[in-house]
Amino acid sequence: MNIRHSAPVLAALVLFGVAACGGGSAQKSPFADQARTAPVQQGVVTPGEAKRVLDRYEKLAGQAVLQGKGWEAAEAGLSLRQTKADEQVNAMIGNRSTNPMEMNKTRFTIPRSGANPPWFLAEFALKGGKSWRQLIFQKTTQGWRVVASSVTDPKMKVPAIAKDRDGLATALPVDERGTLTISPRQAAQSHARLFATAGADPRARQTIAPGSFTTELVKTVQDQRKGLGGQWNVRYQPRLAPEIFALKTSAGGALIWYGFLTRNSFVAHQGSTYTASFPGRQTAALSHGETFKKRAALNSASTYLAVIPSAPGKVRVLNEWFSLLSITGS
């Protein structure tokens, strides 16, 4: 899995024209009553089980990297789609990696039982730096699979995840606001509206904080539209993916993971003298270097990590994993 961002890709997308046993019988155990009245809360997995799941992923992912196939045994959902798309593009430009990822340190965040289907967070340190990669594992009909991923570093000011006295985290319902400024699903939808309207939606602007994966990306879309000379229509159509995960933070907010499947469509006006091309290395490979006169469509997928505050404030988008899926046109 390769984490890359959309900003440099979108910045050069188109040129137009010019992520207790019982105690002994002789003496009563001093903990016997406590054990009966306050049972230990259970997590979706034990730490040992989580470690075995991660070890299995590391092995399967390493095999998939070397063989260029087999990611279905390690990942599912949007994560699988993005990983396979990245593998395809990297192979097309002769940049496919054969070096398996190295997990130097690992740590786990395990929610209390109750999430359906069950899921948990695994993290490992990236070699040679201070960054950490997050993997969301979810129980599927085929077993545990990675379904979302992100990368964080100290500059992002990622809030601490809340844990109870048993060391377990709280997985938040994605459609409930609770003490948050907005529900996890509403936060993801606001982010999508910000993109779809190129920043014109006032509620989205009030909800989503400025940043590299929000307002700066919107500015890129706006600049593209200005450069069309009024001869092409451009639509940015993000569709929210089913995978949304949320964990309560120590400050009462939430860390959330969500994703988009996006279609950028470009349609020339009648009589347009402008043509469209995709000059970036990756986009040129996917479009086979073609120039389009009538219409073009770029399909992509992305996964985001964001923070929802508990007090009045805006949603901060911390990280993006962006993948090119296809480019078509005529």
pLDDT of residue 88: 92
pLDDT of residue 234: 87
Cα–Cα distances (Å) from 223 to 13, 190, 196, in that order, read 11, 21, 14
Q: What is the pLDDT of residues 7-57, one digit of tens each?
A: 555 544 454 443 333 344 344 333 333 334 444 559 999 999 999 999 999
In this structure, are residues 131 and 121 in contact, taking their beta carbons and an 8 Å threshold?
A: no
- Mean pLDDT over 291-309 rounds to 95
Q: What is the pTM of this model?
A: 0.88
Across the chain, mean pLDDT equals 86
Eight-class DSSP state of 144: E
> Percent of the chain, pLDDT > 90?
65
- Identify residue 245 by its one-letter amino acid code: F
Q: Is the pLDDT of residue 263 over 70?
A: yes
pLDDT of residue 294: 92
* 220 band by pLDDT with thresholds 50, 70 and 90: confident
- Mean pLDDT over 276-295 rounds to 89
* 227 band by pLDDT with thresholds 50, 70 and 90: low
Q: Is the pLDDT of residue 253 over 90?
A: yes
Q: Is the pLDDT of residue 185 over 80?
A: yes
Please enumerate, as own/partner, the contacts of 18-21 that have beta carbons within 8 Å and a separation of 24 or more.
Answer: 19/79, 19/82, 19/148, 19/149, 19/150, 19/257, 19/259, 19/302, 19/303, 19/304, 19/305, 19/319, 19/320, 19/321, 19/322
Q: Is the pLDDT of residue 311 over 90?
A: no
Q: Which residue ranges make up each domain of the chain?
A: 7-18+44-329
Q: What is the pLDDT of residues 136-163, one digit of tens each?
A: 999 999 999 999 999 999 889 999 999 9
> Percent of the chain, pLDDT > 70?
86
- Identify residue 132 by its one-letter amino acid code: W
pLDDT of residue 89: 93
- Identify residue 307 by its one-letter amino acid code: V
Q: Which of 4-18, 61-75, 220-234, 253-267 has the lowest mean pLDDT?
A: 4-18
pLDDT of residue 113: 87
Q: What is the pLDDT of residues 66-79, one digit of tens each?
A: 888 999 999 999 99
Spatial strand order in the sheet of 132-140: 106-109, 119-125, 132-140, 143-152
pLDDT of residue 279: 82
CA separation for the pair 282, 12 (Å, rounded) = 11
